[in-house]
Chain A
C-alpha cells in the first residue's frame, strides 16, 4: 500500500492515538504532535514527587471500547483481566458497602435494596443499550439528514420501541432527562448505596445528585462500563497498548512539539505552526485538544462565523475535580476493610445530601468543605509507581471550582487539609503516613494539559452539550466548518472517560469524507 496522504493529529491523548491508529491502519501517513515530552495527555503517568509517580488523571478507567480493541487487534495487558472493579462505599464504623455491576454486599443493606439493585442495574444497562447506535458513530443531524443520519435515527427509534419492553421504554423516556436523586429515592432506601451510585453520576460534572441531567450522565457511564474491553486495566496499560500498536502501524509521534496555530487557507486546513516557528503542512488536521483551544486559540475566530464562535465560547467546560496524589509510608487502615479491597475504588460519600452540600459550594466559587472523595491505591496494581515500601494514593475530590473567588493560592492548602482530615476520620493514622503530596486543581489541569477550563471531559456532559449538540452544532460530526479540520477529543460526542470512542468516531468520519488512502 502506498502512503499518499499525510494527517496531523494535535495532541497524543488516548483519543488522538486511537484516531491515528485507525487512520494509519487505513493507509494514511500520520504524525502526532504532542506538546509534552510524553504521550498520553491526561492519562499519562508523571512523577509528582521524588520516586513517586502519579497514575494520570483517571482513577479507575473501564478500558477502551470493545470494538476498538477488536479493530486494532490490541493485546490486553495487566495481570488481573477477569477481576471486577468494585466500588466500596466506606463507612466510619466499618460497615462498608461493596458493589459492582453484578450485585452488592455489606453495608447493612436490606434485602429489598439488594433486589432493587439488581433490577436497577438491569434497567439501566438496557437503557444504555438503546443508545448504542448513537454512540459508536457520528451523532445524526436532525435536519438535512443524509442516509446514514436517518439510518442511525431509525435504529435508535427501533431500539427504543422494540429493544425495550413497553414499560421500560416509557420509563426511559421519563427518567432520561431528570436527576439521579429522585430516581435513586424511588429505587432504594439505603443512603450510602444511593450516594455511591450518585457519585458515579456526578463525578467530573458540575452537577449534584439533584441536578437534572444526572441520569443521562449515569447512563453514559454505564454504557462505557458495559462496552469496556477489559476489567481493571490501568491507564498506563491502555496507553502502552495503544501507543505500541500505533507505532507498529507507522504513526510518527513528535514530542515536545506544541502547536500554536492551525493554518487555514481559504477555509481549508493547510497544516500547523509549532511553537518553534516550524510549519508542518498537511491537508488533514485532527485536533485532540479541547474545543475552545482548538477553535478560539489554534484556528482563531478570523476564519469562523461569529455566532459559531459565540457558541464555542459558551461551552461549559470548567473543571470541578481536584486530583490529589499522595505518597504514603504505609497502606491506610480502614476499619474492617480487608486489604484485597484496596485495589478497588474507595468512596467517601455517606449520603446524597452530603454530596449535594459539597456541590452547593462549587456553585459559589468555593471548595467543598466536606468533599466527596474517590480513592484508589494504584501502586498496588503497578508497584513501579512508588518507591519500595511505599505506596501512591490517588484521589479524585469533588467539588473544586476552576476559578475560586478567593484564588487557588490561598485555598490549596486548606482544601488539601480538608481532604486529608476527611480520610483520617475513616482511616486513623493516615495523615501521619503521608510523605509527599501533590494537588492538581482544575486550574492546574488547565495549565499542565493545555485544557482550557480543566474539565475532565473537555466540557460538561449535560443534555444541551451531548449528542448532536456536542461540542456545538455545526461541528458535532467531527468535521468542522474548516475543511480538512477534524475533532477527536473528549469534547466531542460521546465525551470523556477512557473509552477511545471519540477518537474512533473521528477516524471513521475522516475516512468517510476523505476516503481511505
Chain B
C-alpha cells in the first residue's frame, strides 16, 4: 500500500460545483439577469438570461449568441476514420468533402436510433462528431476492428453559436473575412488577431447562423470579438438561453433526442425506442452504401407498413397542448401524444412534435388534441384540431442564401 491517507489531489471532482463551468461562464454570468441556470450535459447554462421573448426575437430578427460548449464532441482520426464513421451512421458520408458538415443519425443493431448529430470533415483525415448525448461508449464499441482513435473533446473545444439574420454582418464586422462564400454546412478556418478559429455555417435554428469553435484558452477573445460590437452600439447581440433555443428548434422542425423520442440506449420498456423511419428520418438512411449498424434490421423494417411516426403538427387555437394526448376524434380513441410544443410568436400558432400511431402505414385522417390549461389556478379542458405538416414550420430563404444578406 502506498499512502492511503494522502490528501485529496487537485484533479478531484469539486463536489460544491454541481454544474461545471464552461469557458464562457464568467461572460455569460454578467448577462444572466435571471440567474436561471440549468444543466446541459452537466454544464452550467442559462435557461433564460433576460426574457424569453427578447432572446427569441434576437435569433429571429437580429443576432443571438449561445454557448455551445456542452455539446458532446468527439474527434475521430486514424486510417479507418471514414470507414468507421460510415459503418456508424445510416447516411453515406463517403462523399463528405473536407471542410463540409453533414447531419446524421446512428442506430443500434435493432435499427433503433441512438442519437443524432453532425459530422465535420476537418481535413487531413480528421473528423469531428457532435452529438446530443454521451456517445463515447457506443463509439468505442463500434470501433472494434477499425484502426481509429476516438477522443472525447467536449471540454477541450469551446464553441459559440451566432444565429440570426445579422449573424453574417456581425461576424464580418468582427473581422472574420471570406465568410461571404461560405455555404450552408461549410467550414472556414480562419485566423483573427493570431487566434485560430473554425467557423461552420451550421445551427439549430432554421435561420442564418454560424458556429465558431476555438481552443478554450481563447474563449474570452472570441467572446470579446463579438460582444465588443454590441458594446460599441453597432448591433443588437444577445446571449440566448435554452428556452429560446427550444422555441426556434421546434419551429425549424429539428427533433431533440431524449425529448421527442427515447434514445435506444435509455429505452427501458420494450418498444419505447424508435427507428429513423418512425422519426421521419428515412431520408437519412442509405441502403446503397457499405454496411452500417442496424442496416439488416432497417431493411426488414422497410418491408413492413410503418406503425407510428414522429410528425410536425400545427394545433389550432391558442391553448398550448403541452403533454396532451391525441385522439382520432373528440372523445375518440387515443392515437398518440405530443412530445414537445411551443407557441410560435412569429407564426402565431402552436407548433409541435407529436408521436402518432399509423394504421396500415397511413397517418390518421383527423387528429384532435385534448388540451388542459389553467386560468387563474383553475383547470379547463378543450379540444383542438391538429394538422400534420410535411415541411418545417420555419425555413427562411436567408438561411441558405450565399452570400447572405448584409445589414
Contacts and interface: CB of A to CB of B under 8 A. Distances in A.
Q: Are A and B direct contacts in the complex by CB distance below 8 Å?
A: yes
Interface stretch (A31-39, A188-196, A307-315, A425-433): A307-315
Contact of A306 (B83, B109, B290): B109
A309 B294 CA distance: 12
A304 B144 CA distance: 11
Given A267-B296, A296-B145, A305 B290 contact: no
B291 A307 contact: no
A308 B109 contact: yes
In order of increasing CB-CB distance, the 10 nearest A-B pairs are: A301-B145, A305-B109, A306-B142, A306-B293, A307-B109, A310-B141, A303-B291, A305-B293, A309-B144, A301-B144
Interface string B289-316: 0110111100000000000000000000
A103 interface: no
Contacts of B83: 302
Contacts, number: 46
A124 to B, nearest CB: 38
A481 interface: yes
B349 to A, nearest CB: 42
A446 B296 CA distance: 33
Given A307-B141, A313-B144, A302 B293 contact: no
B296 A301 contact: no
A262 to B, nearest CB: 13
Given A306-B108, A306-B109, A309-B141, 16 more contacts: A267-B296, A296-B144, A296-B145, A302-B83, A302-B87, A302-B146, A303-B291, A305-B293, A305-B294, A306-B87, A307-B108, A307-B109, A307-B293, A309-B144, A310-B144, A313-B144
A250 interface: no
B145 A300 contact: yes
Contacts of B141: 306-307, 309-310
Nearest to A295: B145
A186 to B, nearest CB: 40
B138 interface: yes
B138 A306 contact: yes
Interface string A286-307: 0000000000100011111111
A267 B289 CA distance: 12
Interface string B107-132: 01100000000000000000000000
Contacts of B291: 267, 302-304
B402 to A, nearest CB: 37
Contacts of A313: 144
Interface string A302-337: 111111111001000000000000000000000000
Contacts of B144: 296, 301, 306, 309-310, 313
Interface string B129-151: 00000000010011011100000
6 contacts: A267-B291, A296-B144, A302-B145, A302-B290, A305-B293, A481-B296
Contacts of A309: 141, 144-145
A78 B296 CA distance: 49
A313 B294 CA distance: 18
Contacts of B108: 305-307
Most central of A306, A308, A310, A474 by chain B CB within 10 Å = A306
Nearest to A301: B145
Contacts of B294: 305
B286 to A, nearest CB: 14
B296 A305 contact: yes
Nearest to A264: B291
Contacts of A305: 108-109, 293-296
B311 to A, nearest CB: 28
Interface string B276-296: 000000000000001101111
Contacts of B138: 306
A346 B141 CA distance: 45
Most central of A301, A313, A481 by chain B CB within 10 Å = A301
Contacts of A304: 291
Nearest to A312: B144
A481 B83 CA distance: 20
Nearest to A311: B109
Nearest to A296: B145
Contacts of A307: 108-109, 141, 293
A261 to B, nearest CB: 13
A308 B146 CA distance: 15
Nearest to A307: B109
A296 B143 CA distance: 12
Contacts of A302: 83, 87, 145-146, 290-291
A304 B109 CA distance: 9
Most central of A301, A305, A308 by chain B CB within 10 Å = A305
A481 B291 CA distance: 12
Interface string B11-24: 00000000000000
B304 to A, nearest CB: 13
A308 B87 CA distance: 13
Contacts of B87: 301-302, 306
B146 A301 contact: yes
A305 B324 CA distance: 37
Contacts of B109: 305-308, 474
Contacts of A481: 296
B309 to A, nearest CB: 24
Interface string B234-271: 00000000000000000000000000000000000000
Most central of A267, A310, A313, A474 by chain B CB within 10 Å = A310
Nearest to B80: A302
A309 B146 CA distance: 12
A260 to B, nearest CB: 15
B221 to A, nearest CB: 40
Nearest to A310: B141
A267 B87 CA distance: 13
A303 B142 CA distance: 12
A281 to B, nearest CB: 20
Nearest to A300: B145
Nearest to A308: B109
Interface in B86-112: 87-88, 108-109
Contacts of A296: 144-145
Contacts of A301: 87, 144-146
Nearest to B290: A302
Contacts of A310: 141, 144
